[in-house]
Amino acid sequence: AQSVTQPDIHITVSEGASLELRCNYSYGATPYLFWYVQSPGQGLQLLLKYFSGDTLVQGIKGFEAEFKRSQSSFNLRKPSVHWSDAAEYFCAVGPISSGSARQLTFGSGTQLTVLP
Amino acid sequence: NAGVTQTPKFQVLKTGQSMTLQCAQDMNHNSMYWYRQDPGMGLRLIYYSASEGTTDKGEVPNGYNVSRLNKREFSLRLESAAPSQTSVYFCASSDTSTGRNIQYFGAGTRLSVL
Residues forming a β-bridge with B11: B111
Provide the pLDDT for residue A101.
Answer: 52
- The radius of gyration of chain A's CA atoms, rounded to the nearest angstrom, is 14
How much is the average pLDDT of A27-43?
87
CB count within 10 Å of CB A56 equals 11
A69: left (phi over 0), alpha (psi -120 to 50) or beta: alpha
CA distance A57 to A34: 10
Provide the pLDDT for residue B57.
Answer: 92
How much is the average pLDDT of B83-97?
93
* A50 CA: distance to closest CA in chain B (Å): 10
How much is the average pLDDT of A49-56?
89
Q: Do A46 and B58 touch (CB under 8 A)?
A: no
Provide the pLDDT for residue B42.
Answer: 87
How much is the average pLDDT of A28-53?
89
Bigger pLDDT: A52 vs A86:
A86
- Compute the mean pLDDT over every residue in chain A, rounded to the nearest whole number: 90
Of the pLDDT bands very low, low, confident and very high (cuts 50, 70, 90), residue A83 is: very high
Q: Do B100 and A9 touch (CB under 8 A)?
A: no
Residues of chain B with a CB closer than 8 angstroms to some CB in chain A: 4, 30-31, 33, 40-45, 48-51, 56, 58-59, 90, 92, 94, 96-108
* pLDDT per residue as tens digits for the range B14-24: 999 999 999 99
Q: Do A49 and B33 touch (CB under 8 A)?
A: no
Cis peptide before A116 (omega within 30 of 0): no
Provide the pLDDT for residue B8.
Answer: 95
* A55 CA: distance to closest CA in chain B (Å): 17
How much is the average pLDDT of B96-103?
80
